[in-house]
Amino acid sequence: MQRLRLGLVGAGRRAQAHVQSILALDDRFELAAVCDVNAEAAAAIAQRTGAQAFADLDEFFRGGQLDAVDIVTPPDAHHVIAKAAADYGVSMLVETPIAPTRQMAALLMEAAERAKVKLEVAENVWRWPAERLARQVLESGAIGRVLRVYCLYVTGGYHAMNLIRTYLGFPQPTVVAAHVRRYPVDPYTFNGADHVDETWTSATIDFAGGATAIHECSSSWSSPVRQAVPRFFAAHGTKGTLVSRGGVVEVGIVTDGKLQRYSSETEWSASGNGRTAKQLRLGPPLNLSYDNPFEPLVAQHPELWRGGEDEVARADELNSLYRAVVDNVAPEYGAENAYRDEELVVAMNESGFAGGAAVSFPLPSVTRWEEETHAAFRRVYGVDPLADLDGARKVLFSVYGARVPAPSQPNAKSSG
């Protein structure tokens, strides 16, 4: 099997997980170089993996002799790094979201198209084993035509939009209405920053063909309170329902006036401290199954790969990039789908920015919320997000980035 020389841009918390997956996929990738404006962080990964370390992006691309690059930086930097990768003719995997605004996303997509390089986006949700099986159920027609999708997701955003769009079969949205509020919470620290509030969003999304999605999320999955919130996905169809929660897919189908319930079973594979799903299946009469192609990694690399749903998804994303480069095929998810996910996030934020007023598609070329996001980018980083990419290459981007605050909830008080 051909091995690709893979570069990594970003050496923070999220990048550490990518390193583990890259090293586990050692039949496909050689981690050749790592770059971060924090030279010590890049050097630490390089020392552990044998990769070259760089603090300058141009030196990284010129000296790394790369076949592909994995971009794992804060979202504000995605279009900056991806544009540089395209300029150097290097195919890429970009972490989610593809970019904070549609204009930033379009910039990197157009650069990749001009350079004729592959561009995959690291969207995890639809690649989780349970969601692979759930999609088989929906595509089989077992619950009929899907009328509604429900998505309770702690941090929501682009991940939730990915889930909603895949459950509905990627229809065109027509109208979004969202309530977005900011509430004070008891102080907590995460990712080296102190937090005293959270943003809560509740949205209704209508799609062409009549389907509706109901979504609720908060921004504070890392707080002690929100870590206890269960993730809940559901689809209501003309013949029955599907519920996905905790890695289990539950299906209810009405036949001759009687409700029959079916629940998925998981066959596990374990080695050392790792455990991964080998197969998820729904028995008769559905007879559907998902076989995890990365299950052998838990035995081959127990020190690197524990086999959780995010690890399976991450291996899948990297493999999609690998196949795109080696076989010259389109990435499995790709930039266009990631753009459509983020477009819905923009619409939700625009609606919230307007006090819950409905926002119709197609969206204007630039929304008010996007204008405010670009202005925040200029304030925080001192460079324009669209016109000064050379200057942006030198910026140390923040995990929490240039964000537009949600409206405050006037009567909400912290228990502290």
pLDDT exceeds cutoff 70 at 225: no
| Nearest 10 degrees: Cα torsion 128, 123, 73, 179 | -110
Mean pLDDT computed over 341-345: 97
In a domain? residue 62:
yes
pLDDT exceeds cutoff 60 at 339: yes
Per-residue confidence at 218, pLDDT binned at 50, 70, 90? confident
Containing 150, the helix (H) or strand (E) segment is strand 146-152
Alpha helices, DSSP H only, in 202-360?
297-300, 309-327, 334-353
Question: 130-155 burial by CB neighbour count: b if 16+ within 10 A, else e?
Answer: bbbbbbbbbeeebbeebebbbbbbbb
What's the pLDDT tens digit per position in 75-111?
999 999 999 999 999 999 999 999 999 999 999 999 9
Cβ(255)–Cβ(264) below 8 Å: no
User: Cα–chain-centroid distance for residue 58?
Assistant: 27
What's the pLDDT tens digit per position in 19-34?
999 999 999 999 999 9
pLDDT of residue 412: 44
In a domain? residue 385:
no
Distances (CA, A) of 363 to 80, 156, 348: 24, 21, 11
Per-residue confidence at 280, pLDDT binned at 50, 70, 90? very high
Give the span between the Cα atoms of 313 and 330, in whole angstroms.
Answer: 18
Residue 283's contacts (CB-CB under 8 Å, 6 or more residues apart) are 262, 265
In a domain? residue 196:
no
pLDDT exceeds cutoff 70 at 213: yes
pLDDT of residue 415: 37
Q: List residues bridging with 270 in a β-sheet.
A: 275
Q: Which of 65-74, 395-404, 407-416 has the lowest mean pLDDT?
A: 407-416
Cβ(290)–Cβ(131) below 8 Å: no
In a domain? residue 117:
yes
Q: Positive or negative CA dihedral for 27, 32, 38, 39? A: positive
Strand ranges of the sheet holding 91-95, from the earlier edge strand across to the other edge:
52-54, 29-35, 4-9, 68-71, 91-95, 119-122
Q: Which has the closest alpha carbon to 137: 234, 242, 278?
A: 242
pLDDT exceeds cutoff 70 at 223: no
Q: Tell which wins on pLDDT, 262 or 201.
A: 262
Q: Tell which wins on pLDDT, 154 or 90.
A: 90
Q: Which of 140-154, 189-203, 261-275, 357-371 has the lowest mean pLDDT?
A: 189-203
407: preceding bond cis by omega (within 30 degrees)? no
pLDDT of residue 23: 97
Show the beta-strand stretches assigned E in 96-143: 119-122
Q: What angle do CA 351, 109, 376 make, to 5 degrees?
A: 45
Q: Which of 12-16, 129-133, 194-198 has the lowest mean pLDDT?
A: 194-198
End-to-end CA distance of the chain: 58
Residue 58: which domain range? 4-123+328-334
How many folded domains does the chain comprise? Answer: 1
In a domain? residue 85:
yes
Cβ(232)–Cβ(152) below 8 Å: yes
CATH number at residue 14: 3.40.50.720
Per-residue confidence at 17, pLDDT binned at 50, 70, 90? very high
Cβ(346)–Cβ(369) below 8 Å: yes
Query: For all residues of the chain together, what is the average pLDDT?
Result: 92
Give the span between the Cα atoms of 123 and 157, in whole angstroms.
Answer: 12
To the nearest 10 degrees (0 to 180), the angle between helices 334-353 and 102-115 is: 170
- For the chain, percent of residues with pLDDT exceeding 90: 78
| Nearest 10 degrees: Cα torsion 385, 390, 393, 399 | -10
pLDDT exceeds cutoff 80 at 39: yes
In a domain? residue 47:
yes
In a domain? residue 205:
no
In a domain? residue 255:
no
Cβ(95)–Cβ(74) below 8 Å: no
Mean pLDDT computed over 111-128: 97
Containing 57, the helix (H) or strand (E) segment is helix 57-63
